[in-house]
Every structure is written in C-alpha cells, then in structure tokens.
Chains A and B, each alone.
Chain A
Amino acid sequence: MNSLLLALAVALPCHTGLAGPWRAALALAGGELRFSLQIADSADRLTGRVCNAGSCGALSGVRQAGDSVRLEIADYAASIAATCSGDTLAGFYRNVGNRGPRVIPFHASRGRWDAAPVPRRLAGRWDATFVSGQRRSPRVLLFEGGPSGLQGTVISNTGDYGTFQGQLDGDSVAMSHFDGSFVYLLTARLDGDTLRGTFHAGLSTQTPFTAVRSTGRDHLRPPTSLTQADTTAPFHFAFPDLNGRMVRNDDPRFRGKVVLIDIFGTWCPTCQEAAPELVRLWHEYRARGLEIAGIAYEVSGDTAIDAALVRRYKARHQIPFPLLLGGTNTVEATAATLPQLTGFTSYPTTIFLGRDGRVRRVHAGFYGASTGPMHQQQVASFRAFIEQLLEEP
C-alpha cells in the first residue's frame, strides 16, 4: 500500500506555486533533523527562509524550473536541489567539506510542524558532559517552550549553537538545528534524573553525552577567561576598511575613547546574533565616548569577495561603525593578525579597550537570544562594563 502511495505521489505534477510554509527535514543517519522552510512569492520573485523554532535565516536564492527546485545558501556555498511532486519536495542538501562534497537526503511537505509540548521533567537547564574519545568537555542544554513548542539550545564555553526545535516521543527527545551550514541533531532519552544521548554534527560525527539537572553552579568556563591579552601597551590594529582605507587604533576617531573591537565573520551565525546588540550599544553610548570597530575574518581571503559579503552584512544590520577586513576565518590566521591576543578561540570575540587604548577585557563567544537568561546577563554585563570604562578618566 505504501509503495502504491509512493508511486502515485511520484506521478503527481508539482502544485503551482511554492509559496507557503513547509515541514522540512534532513534524513541524517542518526535520525530525522526537522526544520521549517518559508517561501514567499512577491513580484514574481521567490524568496525563502530556513527556520528553527521561529528563528529564521534568509536563503540567498530560490529557483524553480518546472518540477526542479533549487534553494541556494550562498554564505555557506551550499544548496538544496529537490524535485517537486504534488505537495512534497524530495532531493538532497549538499555542501563541500575538506574531503569533498557531503550529501544528505532532504524532504519537505506543505504545512507546519506540530508544536511539541514541553514536559516539566525536561524543561530547564541541564549540565552536560560530551565525551569524545578520551576528551570530556562541558555543555549546557536548555529546554523551554516557545511559540513553536519545544525549543532550546546547546551552549559551549564560547557560545551557543543557535536555536533548536524539538520533538518528543515518550521519554525520548530530539532537538534539531539547521541553518544552511551547521547540521546539528541532539537525540536523548530521559532515564530518571539523567539525560543520556548523542549529539550528531554533520553526517557522521557523533558525540555521546550525559546530562544532569543544573545545580546552579558554573558548569562552563566564564567567556572572559578563555582568551588573554597583552595589556602592557595599547592594543594595536591596522586593517583596510571596505573602501581600502587603512584604519588604525591610533586614528582620531578612537583616541581617548572606550573602544569595542568585534572580531566576527559574515559566515558566523552567532556573530549575526551579536551584531544588533553592538549596534544598540553604539547608539546608546556613542555620545558618552564609546566607539566600535568590527574586524571581519572571511572564508575566501579574496578582498573583493570578502568586501562584498561584509558590505551585505553591514547593510543587513544597519551597522554605523567601521567594518574592517582582517583576513581569513581560521583561528590561526586571526591570531596571526592580532599578536597581542593569546588563546584566541572563537568568533565572535569582543575586546574592550579603555580610554588609554589598552585591553581591559576579552569576551570570547556570544550567548544568543536562545540562551535566555544567559543572553540577558551577558548584555547587562557588557553595559555595566562599558559604563565603568566610560567613567574612568
């Protein structure tokens, strides 16, 4: 019977118009990674968004030719190619890794995922230990209710993995996140007061973990303890802006001011989450002597390509402060261009400079809005520290 239904579905032509919500999923070997697609048709142009529990990112292109559909995710050089049949899409997600292309089956059907309830025994904060071979590393898992039902996130020492949307089946929970590049699926089973499961990253990387309810004590290292800086001299930087002009730490626009340096990349979802907060801080404190500079580390290393991406990022977030081109987006390359930092680990990293130009704090990573109170505490801590620095002579 199922075969017959499948055959009928294959024979159906694509229903006119892709516009609307789609229940989408990647068929990972370790389970189904669910996300939502929202496609709009305005002025004969298709646009789309990839959403995880209401947190969405734009697709760079949606094209349809007959029954063939292609969803482009240009920021990550990735795409989804699918065939439309009736009210379903079936095909493959594809991106290119170091060992060649990766291909993951994709399917979608019209409509929205049912909102999963949030059981009391799961809701809240859990302290997890991820085990990879001999190595153990801490994570915090958050589960909560949202407009789309169960949602949450996974938080490491340097930030969160974005918003996850969840599904429940008895004592089993699956939380998924797909933003076009990062493919994350957390599967776990409640066993009394313990959550045991596996964190799937990409097609085949699996990390087992065990989590217990948070006691309230610190489980992660503070983000201000991960990267150190030379504070004996003013923090030196000199990079070209998007018009090729060199911008330096001793330029008049920075001299005598409290300065935030945002080390970011347009490819980095967490940086995208941090950008609006920095813009807010700039507007709020600029008159009292705050300045901000963003230093971008991009994928290609080609100035023309990188500048175009950073211009788009600047326009998207309406960033009023200068964005500079720092280089390519690896920890080594970034560290090489900022030799006064030690232990650079993550994008974004925010460096706080006092009015004398010296480093006063280095904050690695950024807790996005999906981390709830951690996000709020972090923003409050940014504000308090900026206030403190502004008060100093």
Chain B
Amino acid sequence: MQRQLTPGRRIPLLLAAACLLATATARAAIAQGAALVDAEREAYLEWLQRSPLSPYAAVAQLPVGQGIRLGSDHGDVALTGVALHTIANSDGIVAMTGPEGRRALPRGRPVRLGGYAIVSGGTASRPVVTIFDSTRARGTPHWYPYDAALSFAGPLHPPDSARSRLVLSPEGVEVTAEDAGSVIVPIGGKPVRLSVMRLPDPVSGESDLEIYFRDSTNGDSTYPAGRFVSLVPAGKGNWRLDFNRSRNPFCAYSSAFACPAPWRGNAIPADVRAGEQYQPKE
C-alpha cells in the first residue's frame, strides 16, 4: 500500500547533527523501559475498564458557559431518572442546583447525581463539566508490541521566543499551553522536527511536556486525529521520547470529548508502529 506521506520540514545540517539519538545499546535500560511501559499499560487498562471516571464512561462534556441544564426532560443533557438540575459558574465557583439545594462542584472530584457522576474541570475562567455513566459499555485498548528502536533520548531545543496559545488537552479541555521548543527525531530515514508544548493539568496543578503528532498509520491502525506522547527527563538535561508510550486523546474512547486539532508541522512522514492503536467501532 502506498503510504500517504506528509512532507517534513527541511532541517539544516547542524540541526540534524543535534538529532535525538537512538539508545539501543544498554540492554538493561531497554528491559526496564519495556517493563515500565508494560506496567503503565496494565494500570491504564484497569483504569479504562473499571474506573467510574474512565473516559469510556463519559456521556457528555460541556463548557459551563452561561449555564447547563441536566435532567430527564428539557435538559441540555438528558439523564435518565434525574430531576432537572442546573449548573452555573458564579465568581469562579461551579455549583449545581436541584430539588435538594445548591452544592459546589469541586474541580476534579465526582459528585453523584442519580446513577451518574458529575465532574467539574477545565480552568477557573473556562470551566467544563463532564458527565459519566458507569454502566456505559467499554472497549478494550490495544497496543503495538514494545519496540526499543522507537525510544529516543536527546536535547530539547528551546523556542525562539516564549509564546503560549490555547490548545485542547488530551482530555478535550481548553488549556493555555506554553511553547516548550522542539525535538528532532531520526525516524523514517531522515530527521523530523516535532514541536513540544507544556500542557498544564488545571486539576492537579502539574504540567507535562507533550507532543501531539500524526504519522502514516493514522486512520489505518492508529487514531485518525493523531496521538499524544509525553517527554520525560532522561538526565543530563536530555529528554526521552518513547513512542511506545503514545496514547490516544480521550475522544478516541467517547464522542463526549472534543478532539484536539492536529498541531501544525507535527506530521511524521513514516509509520510509527508503537504505542496505542485504534480499532474503530463497526
């Protein structure tokens, strides 16, 4: 099959020399990397399939905006067996009002509403609410076998200037991300530059260096919109980009989540047969 390749940016020779280097020499390190990825997948699988807040269980995610109405009838979201409730944002506090009174929706914490769980998230200025139904059918994620050749370590090249912009996080929430620079990976026979953003998690207060990338497997064996992969520190100022840890945005598990638009330029003109796969529903 002829691959649909996206042209990559031309990279000057000096920059190419600073490419991330494959680290396939230390057998023990590879074994440890594979074991960590296995453990992460096991934990992730259990969370996806058992947690009441699994993205598979999400039925709706809405910006609070001017207010949301939930309930069996006349609601923005129809929830079986639930009396009409309204959710509103007042001075940064998201609260739900219903027949039993008003209660605050703490960020990141589930509040029960009938058979559903309501979780407030997003930022203080742009709160969103996600509604989970733990009885919702769940799928099973699949992954490529671990491939040590697709784990790289090397420098993160700083951006020309400090910039930030609104992007959607993996869980479909609008966040202000900072341009963290770029990495250059020798993949598909030539160096490819990938831009890196620092994505805050408004709930935990932590942040991750993320790459949202596309590659030639998208729409075939991986999610059409692309996948996220986090950079983790690799010591001595270097960073590890392990494509085996690539994961789908939450919109791959439920249409409740908005899908992030692909990041400009982050298209790898080659197959990245590592990380999470995608099998669309029949």
Q: Which residues of B lie under 8 Å from residue A201 when comparing CB positions?
A: 206
Q: Out of A31, A200, A204, A301, which one reaches B106, CB within 8 Å? A: A301
Q: How many whole Å from A188's CB to the nearest CB in chain B?
A: 14
- Indicate the member of A29, A98, A299 with the most B CB atoms within 10 Å: A98
Q: Out of B36, B92, B230, which one reaches A332, CB within 8 Å? A: B92
Q: How far is the CA of A337 from the CA of B106 in the complex (A)?
A: 11
Establish whether residues A204 and B233, one from each chain, have CB atoms under 8 Å apart when the complex forms: yes
Establish whether residues B106 and A103, one from each chain, have CB atoms under 8 Å apart when the complex forms: no
- Indicate the member of A30, A132, A134, A204 with the most B CB atoms within 10 Å: A204
Establish whether residues B235 and A30, one from each chain, have CB atoms under 8 Å apart when the complex forms: yes
Q: Which residues of B lie under 8 Å from residue A29 when comparing CB positions?
A: 232-235, 240
Q: Which residues of B lie under 8 Å from residue A100 when comparing CB positions?
A: 43-44, 47-48
Establish whether residues A99 and B170, one from each chain, have CB atoms under 8 Å apart when the complex forms: yes
| CB of B178 closer than 8 Å to a CB of A | yes
Establish whether residues B27 and A3, one from each chain, have CB atoms under 8 Å apart when the complex forms: yes
Establish whether residues A103 and B40, one from each chain, have CB atoms under 8 Å apart when the complex forms: yes
Q: How many whole Å from B209's CB to the nearest CB in chain A?
A: 7
| CB of A137 closer than 8 Å to a CB of B | no
| CB of B109 closer than 8 Å to a CB of A | yes
> Restricting to B44-60, which residues have a CB under 8 Å from any CB of A?
44, 46-48, 51
| CB of B140 closer than 8 Å to a CB of A | no
Chain B residue total in the interface (Cβ 8 A): 47
> Restricting to B182-226, which residues have a CB under 8 Å from any CB of A?
198, 201, 203-204, 206-209
Q: How far is the CA of A206 from the CA of B235 in the complex (A)?
A: 12
Establish whether residues A96 and B47, one from each chain, have CB atoms under 8 Å apart when the complex forms: yes
Please, what's the 1-or-0 string for A312-355, where 1 marks a CB less than 8 Å from any CB in chain B? 00000000000000011110110111000000000000000000
Establish whether residues B94 and A3, one from each chain, have CB atoms under 8 Å apart when the complex forms: no
Establish whether residues B201 and A96, one from each chain, have CB atoms under 8 Å apart when the complex forms: no
| CB of A133 closer than 8 Å to a CB of B | yes
Q: How far is the CA of A6 from the CA of B28 in the complex (A)?
A: 9
Q: Out of A98, A101, A202, which one reaches B46, CB within 8 Å? A: A101
| CB of A2 closer than 8 Å to a CB of B | yes
| CB of B93 closer than 8 Å to a CB of A | yes
Q: How far is the CA of A31 from the CA of B233 in the complex (A)?
A: 9
User: What residue in chain A is nearest B36 (Cβ atoms)?
Assistant: A105
| CB of A97 closer than 8 Å to a CB of B | yes
Give the A-B contact count at a CB cut-off of 8 A. Answer: 107
Please, what's the 1-or-0 string for B170-187, where 1 marks a CB less than 8 Å from any CB in chain A? 110000001000000000
Establish whether residues A329 and B106, one from each chain, have CB atoms under 8 Å apart when the complex forms: yes
Q: Which residues of B lie under 8 Å from residue A94 when comparing CB positions?
A: 39, 43
Q: Out of B44, B121, B204, B235, which one reaches A101, CB within 8 Å? A: B44
| CB of B111 closer than 8 Å to a CB of A | yes
Q: How many whole Å from A305's CB to the nearest CB in chain B?
A: 12
| CB of A76 closer than 8 Å to a CB of B | no
Q: How many whole Å from A101's CB to the nearest CB in chain B?
A: 4
Establish whether residues A2 and B28, one from each chain, have CB atoms under 8 Å apart when the complex forms: yes
Q: Which residues of B lie under 8 Å from residue A337 when comparing CB positions?
A: 104
> Restricting to A1-52, which residues have a CB under 8 Å from any CB of B?
2-3, 6, 27-31
Establish whether residues B204 and A97, one from each chain, have CB atoms under 8 Å apart when the complex forms: yes
Q: Which residues of A lie under 8 Å from residue B107 when comparing CB positions?
A: 330, 332
Q: How many whole Å from A104's CB to the nearest CB in chain B?
A: 8
Q: How far is the CA of A6 from the CA of B48 in the complex (A)?
A: 34
| CB of A113 closer than 8 Å to a CB of B | no
Q: Which residues of B lie under 8 Å from residue A205 when comparing CB positions?
A: 206-208
| CB of B231 closer than 8 Å to a CB of A | yes
Establish whether residues B47 and A336, one from each chain, have CB atoms under 8 Å apart when the complex forms: no
| CB of B97 closer than 8 Å to a CB of A | no
Establish whether residues B106 and A330, one from each chain, have CB atoms under 8 Å apart when the complex forms: yes
> Restricting to A196-223, which residues have a CB under 8 Å from any CB of B?
200-206
Establish whether residues A332 and B201, one from each chain, have CB atoms under 8 Å apart when the complex forms: no
Q: Which residues of A lie under 8 Å from residue B110 when comparing CB positions?
A: 301
Q: How far is the CA of A99 from the CA of B32 in the complex (A)?
A: 23
Q: Out of A28, A97, A301, which one reaches B201, CB within 8 Å? A: A97
Q: How many whole Å from B31's CB to the nearest CB in chain A?
A: 9
Given A133-B178, A332-B93, decide whether A301 and B109 contact each other with a Cβ distance below 8 A: yes
Given A105-B32, A330-B108, decide whether A133 and B198 contact each other with a Cβ distance below 8 A: yes
Given A2-B28, A98-B204, A202-B206, decide whether A332 and B104 contact each other with a Cβ distance below 8 A: yes
- Indicate the member of B36, B39, B230, B232 with the most A CB atoms within 10 Å: B39
Q: Out of A92, A329, A333, which one reaches B39, CB within 8 Å? A: A92
Given A92-B39, A133-B178, A336-B95, decide whether A203 and B232 contact each other with a Cβ distance below 8 A: yes
Q: How many whole Å from B214's CB to the nearest CB in chain A?
A: 20
Q: How many whole Å from A103's CB to the nearest CB in chain B?
A: 5
Q: Which residues of A lie under 8 Å from residue B261 when comparing CB positions?
A: none
Q: Which residues of A lie under 8 Å from residue B170 when comparing CB positions?
A: 99
Q: How many whole Å from B83's CB to the nearest CB in chain A?
A: 19
Q: How many whole Å from B196's CB to the nearest CB in chain A?
A: 12
29 residue pairs bridging A and B, Cβ less than 8 Å apart:
A3-B27, A29-B233, A30-B233, A30-B235, A92-B43, A96-B51, A97-B201, A97-B204, A98-B108, A99-B201, A103-B36, A103-B39, A103-B40, A133-B164, A134-B164, A200-B233, A202-B204, A205-B206, A205-B207, A299-B109, A300-B109, A327-B104, A328-B106, A328-B111, A330-B109, A332-B106, A333-B105, A336-B93, A336-B104
**A residues in contact (CB < 8 Å) with B:** 2-3, 6, 27-31, 92, 94, 96-101, 103, 105, 132-134, 200-206, 299-301, 327-330, 332-333, 335-337
10 cross-chain pairs, A with B, having the tightest CB-CB distances, nearest first: A330-B106, A333-B106, A101-B43, A29-B232, A336-B104, A30-B233, A328-B106, A29-B233, A205-B206, A98-B203
